[in-house]
Structure 1
Amino acid sequence: MKRAPLKSSKSSVNVIKTTKKYDDAEALSAMARSISMHTAGSKQRLIAEEILRHGNVRVAGEVFTFRELASATENFNPELLVGEGGFGRVYKGHLKTTNQIVAVKQLDRNGVQGNREFLAEVLTLSLVHHPNLVNLIGYCADGHQRILVYEYMCNGSLEGHLLDLPPNKKHLDWYTRMKIANGAAQGLEYLHDTANPPIIYRDFKPSNILLDEQFNPKLSDFGLAKLGPTGEQDHVSTRVMGTYGYCAPEYAQTGKLTTKSDIYSFGVVFLEIISGRRAIDNTKPTEEQNLVAWAKPLFKDKAKFTLLADPLLEGKYPVKGMYQAVAVAAMCLQDEASTRPLIADVVTALEYLADENANDENTDDEITIPPDL
């Protein structure tokens, strides 16, 4: 099936009047210099210098004061808390000057990691614009405050609709799952193949895939994103970061990061989408706690593919579509990075799987499971 080329779309942002007015590029450079000078760690200085090297970067948003964001979140009212993690807290906010609902992420103020994630995220989201990447509306760097402001995604994260659902919450049907996987893959495709320089996401997991009112997915949380290799390099060497259960084996073992590391992480999440199981679940029997380790033996026998299906689907999925979905996951999860598919090929497969009008009975093109799985 021939795909139309992806079109980049930059969401329009309402301008907020603040007491500080910078040219976009100058604002980013000034912020990087300020944080660099006030941070002792060499890694933080390197991040700041990386931003300064991109002198033509235009900040993808507005500079907010802390007072504005405190007002928008009712002084960071716990009742407006919509998410919490190692990075800090996310609040639902209301920008009164524009009557806009936003997500306000206040990074942990313990310094080092907060500065690194803040700079990485502002740099990344100032370089990229795509319908499947969350839109950065602005940021605040007042004093020790490091706050990011995004568009608000009303359906929360994929994790909240897929894993450990309460009995009264409706599960995602098969085609909605494939649509979400396809959109998330298109976000990765943009980062890998269109962004210049390429960007390795490095933290692909369900909690970082946000959903709008139509369940269109957008990748969020770019605090661990890395600029990809350039020139003759084929990888980036970096400290191993990310979430246990999603890291590619070669990255976990050597610290060598490539776009194929993201492909492995995508395979883990796609397997979660198919099965409704967590990547790591210590509540299950020992042999089932690691999702990939449990699934790989089933990849060897096509007759067992349906055992991977989420029981909540109650068999309501196209059988051949299930076979092909499992095959895609299996290829992404190969131990040898070089044998994993390119993200563009994954997108091509998922566009078909997400098409409700495709005639499942005529899908004779089989995807071969690699023999080493």
Structure 2
Amino acid sequence: MQVGHEFKTEIELLSRVRHKILVCLLGFCFEQGEEMLIYEYVPNGNLNDTLSGIRRDWMRRLRVALDTARGLVNLHELANPPVIHRDIKSTNVLLDECLNAKVADFGLSKLMGDGEKDHVSTQVKGTMGYLDPEYYMTQQLNEKSDVYSFGVVMLEMITARKPIERGKYIVREVREMMDKTKELYSLHSVVDPALGFGTRLSGFEKFVDLAMRWVEDGRAKRPTMSEVVKDIETIMQLAGLNPNADSLSTSASYEESNKASSFDPYSEESFDQSQVFPPRTI
């Protein structure tokens, strides 16, 4: 029953909302019990797979962060009615041939009705490790729930770790380990080695500061996605990069600027599927 509902939701939402940063639905089949969705081809897989085995430099990751944030702004502020994705995670961020990101999988998405300006009360759905704790506790969903999930993806992106891994939750681990008086905030042991500590990670500390705002337990302390976009654009501009360039050209210009610069500077395996969670019990 849930699969059927998600199938219908995906078709309705992607028929209503189209943007280059949202994966495009080309068609669907619902015949003789077969349910198929046909999307545009996105050749470089998802962010989770990319972080697992392929080196991606710091500026390419910032580019992915900016693209993903812009996709969520499109859902939250430009769609009518507004859309809450409700399942932002690294496997739902796809990368095209230029490594530009596209937000995918809208089966759990929720439309905000006219009378639901602040939140919508709904059964808790999403993926463990990415869930907004306030939404989980109150069953009240709003755009800030996507901001929390986005923040977890960003921590995953700079550490290449699952949100819940070997009994440790990435948000808590980074929060407890941070020391702003030290280089890279003393996060060397959790930062993805593929980023390369021998290169200049422009804006890294600022990005970590922002990510920790995005994953605040209380949603009132989190920014909107449009504010998130502005913050990431600022980091890129301070590094001398054009936020509107595609990912490959952004990375190339960054690598060129770094040729002469170098210095050394959660509690179980995470769920990999979206699902409905039972009521909170003691």
State TM-score, norm by structure 1: 0.61
Q: Which amino acid aligns with 1:185?
A: A
Distance 1:344 1:187 in 2: 10
Q: Which stretches in structure 1 are left out of the alignment for 5+ residues?
A: 1-111, 361-373
Which one has more relative contact order, counting CA pairs under 8 Å at least 6 apart?
2
Alignment of 1:225-264 (within 5 A): 225-231=109-115, 233-264=117-148
Does residue 310 (structure 1) correspond to residue 189 (structure 2)? The answer is no
CA RMSD between the two structures: 1.9
Residue of structure 2 in register with 1:290 after alignment: 169
Distance 1:197 1:227 in 2: 6
Alpha carbons 2:21, 2:101 under 8 Å: kept: yes
Q: Which amino acid aligns with 2:211?
A: A
Q: 1:151 to 1:316 in 2, by over 3 A?
A: farther
Distance 1:334 1:229 in 2: 26
Does residue 182 (structure 1) correspond to residue 66 (structure 2)? The answer is yes
Spell out, residue by residue over 1:293-339, the C-alpha distance to the aligned partner (whole angstroms, 9 max, x if none): 11112345342354342122221554451111101101101111011
SS at match of 2:33: coil
Q: 1:192 to 1:318 in 2, by over 3 A?
A: farther
Distance 2:234 2:186 in 1: 19
Q: 1:277 to 1:225 in 2, by over 3 A?
A: same
Q: CA deviation at 1:161?
A: 0.7
Distance 1:352 1:207 in 2: 26
Alpha carbons 2:88, 2:150 under 8 Å: kept: yes
Residue of structure 2 in register with 1:52 after alignment: none
Q: CA deviation at 1:115?
A: 1.0
Residue of structure 2 in register with 1:324 after alignment: 206
Bigger CA radius of gyration: 1
Spell out, residue by residue over 1:203-243, the C-alpha distance to the aligned partner (whole angstroms, 9 max, x if none): 00010101111001101110000002533641111111111
Q: Which amino acid aligns with 1:311?
A: P
Q: Which amino acid aligns with 1:146?
A: E
Alpha carbons 1:305, 1:323 under 8 Å: kept: no
Alpha carbons 1:240, 1:255 under 8 Å: kept: yes
Distance 1:188 1:148 in 2: 21
Alpha carbons 2:174, 2:187 under 8 Å: kept: no
How many residues end up aligned between the 2 structures? 239
Identity value in percent: 40
State TM-score, norm by structure 2: 0.80
SS at match of 1:146: strand
Does residue 196 (structure 1) correspond to residue 80 (structure 2)? The answer is yes
Residue of structure 1 in register with 2:218 after alignment: 336
